[in-house]
A and B are shown apart, each in its own frame.
Chain A
Amino acid sequence: MPAAILLIAFTHYPTVATVIDSLFSKATAIRPSRFVGVLNYQRMLDDPIFWKVLANNAWFALGTIPTSIALAILMALFVNRSIPGRSLVRMAYFTPTVLPMIAVANIWLFFYTPDIGLIDQIASWFGFSGHNWLGDPTTVLPAIMVMTVWKEAGFFMIFYLAAMQNIPPELEEASQLEGATRWYYFRRVMFPLLMPTTLFVLVNAVLNSFKLVDHLFVLTKGGPDNASNLLLYYIFETAFSYFETHFAAALTVVLLILLSVMALLQFFLLDKRVHYR
């Protein structure tokens, strides 16, 4: 019961309130808010920045999710074996996850700084001239993706590591006896056994690709010219910089729908393939 109250007060009620808010116009002292129906949504369709941030977010998700999951599996495989200094390596992989996003973004801001940044200094040893990573609309989004993958992969690795340690060692021994190669074992035995974890990680990764915008405040503020703007950051700007709370509510509804549809799709489509039979 207390759980239900909390859920209603902090989840269901705000959701409903947001939907209702999104149907009203911006209130000022001179012009009170009034019901405008789907006007906010129509405006959204005509808003080039909305389409831009949506496309950016799709690229951002596509660029970060598969890479970070693949990297997480690789890292987990690596530290699942007995190698010297194993716990140290595990910790090293996990460190980016522990750091606050704002701190991380501040560090990477200096990595990416043209000429004096770490990346350009290393590149200069090999004779490359400096590049303005965050100031060039073609490289700014990839640059942010790299940082996000670096930040996320260690977190997902932990789940894979836990899952791998739950796989009975007999399976590997048995497949070795049968003459299966390591790759075959991974592909036909281990990876299918990891599917529940992959589903969990995938859901989380998709949510995060829409939820994580902390770094934008520090790194780019969505610039240059919206080249790195993401949906949630645009919602924040609309609500707190432009004070268009009702338009922001409409954007939030779209975000909510997007996320629920994607979570449902993942559960229903993948659920059939998740469990090892």
Chain B
Amino acid sequence: MFKGIKWLFIGVMATVLLMATVTAGSATELTMYYPVAVGGPLTSVVDGIVDDFMKKNPDITVKAIYAGNYNDARIKALAALKSGQPAQLSVMFSIDIYEMIEQDAIVAFDDVVETAEEKAWLDSFYPALMENGRTAGKTWGIPFQRSTIVMYYNKDAFRAAGLDPDKPPATWDELVAMGKKLTKPDGSQWGAMIPSTGYPYWMFGALTMQNGQVLMNENGDTTYFDHPSVVEALQFWKDMGEKHRIMPKGTIEWGTLRQNFLEGKTAIMWHSTGNLTAVKENAKFDFGVAMLPASKRRGTPTGGGNFYIFKKTSSAERKAAMRLIKFMTSPENSAEWSMKTGYMGVSPAAYETQKLKDYVKGFPYAAVARDQLQYATAELSTYQTGRVRKGLDDAIQATLTGSKTPEAALKEAQAQADRLLKQYR
């Protein structure tokens, strides 16, 4: 009994002492929110890098707060901002940029960087990953946890259908032709599946890019939903189910698609690179990963989270935040992060590090996302992004379930987007 109390007392004293030293030793204190979208042990990875940073920079204390998914992180950051106790920096969805600018919540990195070296650092990342972080001639977000869509395919199913397992479809025509061979008439195996719930606009961004058209302009105030190439892309998506019959009709659930693929119900799936580790660990068959096929060109949107620095910060805090961001996106740490999570390394230099080179040598599929980056474009992001995105999601689902034609659905989505965005032009 007394022993318990004694230990409790020692514990409390130790904690107090520890806190005292921490506060005394730090000149700058940073609070950082970060989301984890794919679950799993990623929080410990982030916390590990942050601890490492504090060890090397004893004058800065970082409080890294796990804030749920992307939506939660944005809500928490904005709520903290309104309550007057904001964080200094945060990882948030890359497409939140316009909302953050409109709320006057973030500061552009161009206004924070000072030296020529730091300015060069802004250009050290993959340009495709910067697209979602740049608007109005300024850089607002630095890429951190970023992904793209890739094509997973079942090599055993390819062999069984008499196809070359090392030649995944590279064009839409090949996708349809191979899909027909891979689809079994009794419905036990489909040729391909592209998920159309959860993030339909994201998958659609890949199809439209492949058809040579982006979905919005750089300023985030104009969308091109009713462009003929976009309509054609949606028609193709619909045709895969209804005309070519290589994909189930109706919408395809994002959450259960990986299971469908692992159970052999579909020979090909389009999904986030974030699934790479899970597929690698759970596939009972020989699988491959490839770039998405091309219509007029190859293409995929990027996805994921960027670093933002908030406006309500002192210049000392901004400098400290810059040091933290530079540390976390450094080639070494980015490589480490990529290997542990399946997210991409954010700069070419990350792939030049020895450890990531070795990793890619042993597991070449880890580099597919990087190789595809040269064809990548920004993820759909505009002012009023939630509503604009929902309008497009609804149009896609209405088309796939057969209640509207692609032209009518997309025209409606475009009209709605125009109404919402007019005030920003």
Q: How far is the CB of A90 from chain B (nearest CB, A)?
A: 33
* Complex interface: chain A residues within 8 A of B256 (CB): 109-110, 113, 116-117
Shortest CB distance A52–B (Å): 10
Whole-angstrom distance from the CB of B166 to the nearest CB of chain A? Answer: 28
Asked if B218 lies at the interface with its beta carbon under 8 angstroms from chain A, I say no
Q: Is the CB of A242 within 8 A of B386?
A: yes
**A240: B residues at CB distance < 8 A:** 71, 75
Q: How far is the CA of A223 from the CA of B195 in the complex (A)?
A: 13
Does A223 contact B397, Cβ atoms closer than 8 Å? yes
Residue of B nearest to A133 (CB): B250
- 1/0 contact string of A22-40 vs chain B (CB within 8 Å): 0000001110000000000
In the complex the two chains form, is B197's CB within 8 Å of A223's CB?
A: yes
Q: A172: CB under 8 A from chain B? A: no
Size of interface on B: residues with Cβ below 8 Å to A? 37
Q: From the candidates A130, A218, A223, A227, name the one contacting B393 in the complex (CB within 8 A).
A: A223
Which A residues are CB-close (under 8 A) to B235?
Answer: none
| A132 contacts B187, C-beta separation under 8 Å | no
Q: Could you tell me the distance between the alpha carbons of A203 and B132 in the complex, rounded to whole angstroms?
A: 49
A12 to B256, CA, bound (A): 42
Q: Judge if A137 is at the interface, Cβ distance under 8 Å.
A: yes
**What residues of A have a CB within 8 angstroms of the CB of B252 in the complex?**
132, 135
User: Which residues 107-143 in A have Cβ within 8 Å of B in the complex?
Assistant: 109-110, 113-117, 129-130, 132, 134-137
Give CA–CA (A146, B135) in the complex, Å. 47
**Given A116-B260, A135-B197, A225-B386 contact (CB < 8 Å):** no
Q: Does any Cβ of A come within 8 Å of B238's Cβ? A: no
Evaluate contact between B198 and A221: CB separation under 8 angstroms: yes
Alpha-carbon distance between A114 and B249 when the two chains are bound, in angstroms: 10
Q: Is the C-beta of A224 less than 8 angstroms from some C-beta in chain B?
A: yes
Please, how many angstroms separate the alpha-carbon atoms of A211 and B380 in the complex? 32
Q: Which residues of B sit under 8 angstroms from A115, Cβ to Cβ? A: 187-188, 248, 260, 265
Interface residue ranges, A against B (CB under 8 Å): 28-30, 109-110, 113-117, 129-130, 132, 134-137, 218, 220-221, 223-227, 237, 240-244
User: B residues bordering A, Cβ < 8 Å?
Assistant: 71, 75, 78, 99, 102-105, 187-188, 196-198, 248-253, 255-256, 259-260, 263, 265, 384, 386-387, 390, 393-395, 397-398, 400-401, 403
A132-B248, A237-B390, A241-B390 known; 9 other A-B pairs, CB under 8 Å? A29-B103, A135-B248, A135-B400, A221-B197, A221-B198, A224-B251, A224-B401, A240-B75, A244-B387
